[in-house]
């Protein structure tokens, strides 16, 4: 058996694993435990992204410079988010505001429960 046939990726198995992780990431926030929600939202998303890149995009088989380009892009994306988050994650700033965020915060503080973005 040649080397190219020695390693066979079972795409159906990987798809099934991704599907199970999707179900877990959807059901996790329903427990309404903040730590579980964060782990299921971000931790599982990172695992799924890694599995897709490795098994479906075959980044591990690409030339090394492609991996460097992808990692560099991810680092710049994280730096951009870290640099802008202190401003954009606020309810209001100098010359702008997010009325929907302010209303949601007011509704949450008042104990109002409702749908996504519904205003009564």
CA pseudo-torsion sign 97, 102, 103, 104: positive
pTM: predicted TM-score of the whole model, two decimal places: 0.56
Please state, in angstroms and rounded to a whole number, the distance separating the CA atoms of residues 92 and 107: 17
What's the pLDDT tens digit per position in 57-87?
A: 888 788 889 889 988 999 999 999 899 888 7
Q: pLDDT, tens digit, for every residue of 79-103?
A: 998 998 887 777 777 777 778 877 8
Could you tell me the residue ranges of all domains in the chain?
1-61, 63-110
**Cα end-to-end span (Å), the chain:** 68
Sign, CA dihedral 83-87-89-95, equals negative
Of 21-25, 46-50, 89-93, 101-105, the poorest mean pLDDT is in 89-93
Between CA 73 and CA 7 the distance in angstroms is 30
Residue 112, phi-psi category: left (phi > 0), alpha (psi -120 to 50), beta (remainder): beta
């Amino acid at each position: 058996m040649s080397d190219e046939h020695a390693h066979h990726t079972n795409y159906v198995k990987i798809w099934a694993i991704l599907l199970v992780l999707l179900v877990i990431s959807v059901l996790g926030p329903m427990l309404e435990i903040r730590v579980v929600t964060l782990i299921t939202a971000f931790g599982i998303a990172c695992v799924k992204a890694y599995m897709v890149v490795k098994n479906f995009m075959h980044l591990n088989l690409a030339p090394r410079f492609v991996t460097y380009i992808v990692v560099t892009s991810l680092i710049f994306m994280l730096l951009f988010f870290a640099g802008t988050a202190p401003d954009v994650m606020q309810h209001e700033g100098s010359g702008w505001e997010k009325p929907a965020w302010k209303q949601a915060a007011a509704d949450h503080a008042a104990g109002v429960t409702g749908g996504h973005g519904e205003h009564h």
